[in-house]
Structure 1
């Protein structure tokens, strides 16, 4: 998801340049969040501080651009990659095939040790909509996405992973829906599951409407994370992803936001999604932890404990080969 030691240089093209961007949390961002009537984000829960997306740490942005000026775009796509050289080109190509052409891609190379850095530089040199951010070391998905978000300019923020592909209508369908449904802050989609040869092997869906999603928040993750498009003010209000989490960062974010913002999923598959290999104990434990934390935060510790216990029981039964 991100780069090795040192920032990418402009080896791929003499047109690649470094652009310093201010942190994304500006007064205009705060005004946007105010349009939703949301309170200022709580900067802590359970003693964990959340200043992440407001941090003024500069980062280097490499773009194929002849100007230092960066034109705002309706949608910014955040893609963090770690050792994804073999699939990154295909993922980016799926974005180039979008019917919605006006986008920017903030591509974060998260300390990769393979050829990801050179692939990323080559992609940025060939398309002015692609900007590369590099991490000196592997920081993890949450911090990489927060860094990309600080450098983005879009009214809408879309997610994407380096081993997935967006179908051509994805961006246009999601932008169209969000523009006609001002009450929805986070929008996911169904997805085709694919194998390593990119053959479609299944269909993954999620609950469609907010009330149904909210009723099942402690039972299941409501979104396929790389299918999501959300409003910029959503991440500003929630102060970004929790960088203390190496896993379940997305589930934690949805749990923190569902009582203040409305969610929705489109029923049609707009993503080809490579499901992670068999879930590990650490991934289930991370999910259980965020459920427990959410229960404490909402003054329903028994609900959090029930959700956590249910998830861990699911893991034990799956490892034992018992029916779920």
Structure 2
């Protein structure tokens, strides 16, 4: 019987000397990530107009030699950048949980999500952190984003409801925060909350439902603060596993937030049916959904 290797996370490069860091930025890197896009993502964080952060990058499983070379070059140049590695591909949720735990030693105030193929606007961190500093009741802050293709050309946008009331009200129908844009107050994690590491996708959706049930306050900024990479296989990646997990999340939201309605149930069933159709139909439905969401939010 084949034994599965035990999961081990190791910090392989760290030069931070201070005892306190206000913000932890966390990003995971995987085997098939493109070096060119990872470079753009890292540069977009290191060149922020806000500076009081540590940027931890978790190598989740095997990566190419060229990626290793790129990451080593960055850690030599900027002491804010920390490299960690997991010996197996253990998934985004587990990687973010490790980053959260690692960051605890600096008693930070904020935790920032970043993805390896996206580009943060130069004012992303300053905009979100300044907002959270002046709105103490908000625990999770997201933003709108623009969608770009493989070549960096704008192909769309994703705007979410801004108020806590709307964000929670719409949770049984959709994940109402753009995960790569969120900044989370560290108190959320100090209270014991973590991503569900057993989930290999939709971990953010389940996390928001858990936090909403506990009464944490959400907000989305109208500002577009990130360029999200929508690649050609974006629609194909929304496969059966993710579709079923989204379906489960919608019913969990209905249950936990007491929002069982005919509309919400019909929406969950309808989206699951659409997700299982050919990618061309999924692509059309996705674009239609963006249009309807924009119209709903304007009214």
Give the TM-score taking structure 1 as reference length: 0.75
Task: Name the CA distance, whole Å, in 2 between partners of 1:64 and 1:234.
Answer: 25
Aligned length: 268
Judge conservation of contact 1:178–1:184 (CA < 8 Å) in 2. yes
Is it true that 1:268 corresponds to 2:223 in the alignment?
A: yes
1:235 to 189, 198, 217: 189
Task: Name the CA distance, whole Å, in 2 between partners of 1:91 and 1:155.
Answer: 23
Task: Name the CA distance, whole Å, in 2 between partners of 1:102 and 1:272.
Answer: 22
Task: Name the CA distance, whole Å, in 2 between partners of 1:218 and 1:310.
Answer: 13
Task: Name the CA distance, whole Å, in 2 between partners of 1:222 and 1:60.
Answer: 33
Is it true that 1:280 corresponds to 2:242 in the alignment?
A: no
Give the TM-score taking structure 2 as reference length: 0.81
In structure 2, the residue matched to 1:312 is: 272
Q: Pick closer, same or farther for the CA change 1:215–1:138 going to 2, 3 Å.
A: same
In structure 1, the residue matched to 2:59 is: 109
Alignment of 1:138-149 (within 5 A): 138-149=89-100
Give the secondary-structure state (helix, strand or coil) at the position aligned to 1:123: helix
Q: Structure 1: give runs of 5+ residues left out of the alignment.
A: 7-56
Deviation at 1:231, TM superposition (A): 0.3
| Bigger Cα displacement from structure 2, 180-189 vs 304-313 | 304-313
Is it true that 1:220 corresponds to 2:220 in the alignment?
A: no
Task: Name the CA distance, whole Å, in 1 between partners of 2:246 and 2:157.
Answer: 23
Deviation at 1:198, TM superposition (A): 1.1
Task: Name the CA distance, whole Å, in 2 between partners of 1:246 and 1:64.
Answer: 28
Q: Pick closer, same or farther for the CA change 1:99–1:156 going to 2, 3 Å.
A: same
2:137 to 168, 183, 187: 183
1:293 to 248, 252, 266: 252
Runs of 4+ in 1 over 4 A off after TM superposition: 296-307, 316-320
Q: Pick closer, same or farther for the CA change 1:263–1:299 going to 2, 3 Å.
A: closer
Task: Name the CA distance, whole Å, in 2 between partners of 1:301 and 1:207.
Answer: 20
The superposition leaves residues 108-148 of structure 1 with CA deviations (integer Å, 9 ceiling, x where unpaired) of 00013323333222221211000011000100111111011
Deviation at 1:180, TM superposition (A): 0.6
Alignment of 1:1-324 (within 5 A): 59-65=9-15, 69-83=17-31, 84=33, 85-115=35-65, 116-152=67-103, 153=106, 154-237=108-191, 239-259=193-213, 260-275=215-230, 277-278=234-235, 279-297=238-256, 308-316=268-276, 319=279, 321=281
Q: Structure 2: give runs of 5+ residues left out of the alignment.
A: 289-299
Q: Pick closer, same or farther for the CA change 1:128–1:203 going to 2, 3 Å.
A: same
Q: Pick closer, same or farther for the CA change 1:189–1:299 going to 2, 3 Å.
A: closer
Deviation at 1:204, TM superposition (A): 1.3
The superposition leaves residues 228-270 of structure 1 with CA deviations (integer Å, 9 ceiling, x where unpaired) of 0010111333521001111100000001111311111110101
Judge conservation of contact 1:63–1:125 (CA < 8 Å) in 2. no
In structure 1, the residue matched to 2:295 is: none
Q: Pick closer, same or farther for the CA change 1:180–1:130 going to 2, 3 Å.
A: same
Deviation at 1:289, TM superposition (A): 1.8
